[in-house]
């Protein structure tokens, strides 16, 4: 099927928020006497906040009674940090204009909560361009499960094989491919050469680098 829909991830793809999530998690986790290495943090990038907290609380044997409080504190701190020093990623306006010219339906599928989605879409100036928004926070399963991508496609009236997704995380890429969608990955520059992106249909160093030839390549 020919592509008629594009679905974007948010954190790390449209806004440079992944370091801010890391800062927030580090600050809150230190209250419990633990810290994550960069490699440890990377393995859980793309998960919902509650799953991220649960995973590491289990790993560090911290009591479940603190889960909800730690989750809320991390989310509140991330929102505060994004508002103060979050920056829009290069090429966001370009890629949205590209797909609007193509007449594709545009959606957002993210693990982030609605409070942060509102902040980021406003900062990026894309609120009016999005025809559907899906947050894995509302769903039974988050990425790498495909549910959030399938939900967004359904809202847009698109068959999964008519969709292309843009992702920056490994868990997000797995979710998109499990949904039977094309996937373009735009990893952080430090992860660009890693072999784990082999499942993607296309790998780019920036949204700005996507062009007509790339579109033709994935639209086959």
DSSP state of 89: P
Q: Kindly name the residue from 9, 151, 168, 201 that is annotated as catalytic.
A: 9
The SS3 of residue 117 is helix
- Find tokens 């590491």 and name the residue: 56
- Catalytic, 9? Answer yes
Q: How many CB atoms lie within 10 A of CB 60?
A: 13
**Contact present, 71 and 57 (Cβ < 8 Å):** no
Q: Which residues partner with 202 through β-bridges?
A: 184
- Catalytic, 11? Answer yes
Kindly report each contact of residues 207-216 with a partner whose C-beta sits within 8 Å and lies 24 or more positions away, as own/partner. 207/13, 207/89, 207/90, 207/91, 207/92, 207/94, 207/95, 207/166, 208/90, 208/91, 208/94, 208/95, 209/91, 210/91, 210/95, 210/98, 210/184, 214/184, 215/98, 215/102
Q: Kindly name the residue from 11, 151, 168, 201 that is annotated as catalytic.
A: 11
> Would you name the residues annotated as active-site residues?
9, 11
């Amino acid at each position: 099927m020919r592509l008629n829909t594009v679905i974007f991830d948010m954190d790390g793809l449209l806004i440079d928020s992944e370091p801010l999530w890391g800062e927030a998690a580090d600050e809150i986790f230190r209250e419990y006497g633990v810290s994550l290495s960069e490699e440890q943090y990377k393995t859980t990038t793309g998960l919902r906040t509650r799953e991220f907290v649960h995973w590491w609380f289990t790993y560090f044997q911290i009591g479940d009674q603190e889960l909800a409080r730690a989750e809320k504190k991390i989310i509140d701190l991330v929102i505060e940090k994004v508002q103060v020093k979050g920056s829009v990623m290069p090429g966001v306006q370009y890629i949205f204009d590209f797909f609007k010219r193509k007449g594709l339906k545009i959606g957002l599928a993210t693990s982030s909560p609605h409070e942060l989605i509102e902040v980021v879409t406003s900062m990026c100036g894309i609120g009016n361009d999005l025809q559907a928004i899906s947050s894995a926070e509302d769903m039974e399963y988050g990425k790498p499960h495909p549910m959030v991508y399938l939900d967004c496609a359904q809202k847009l009236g698109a068959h999964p094989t008519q969709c292309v997704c843009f992702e920056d995380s490994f868990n997000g890429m797995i979710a998109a491919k499990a949904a039977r969608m094309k996937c373009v990955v735009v990893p952080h520059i430090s992860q660009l050469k890693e072999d784990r992106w082999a499942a993607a249909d296309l790998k780019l160093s920036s949204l700005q680098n996507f062009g007509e030839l790339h579109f033709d390549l994935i639209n086959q």
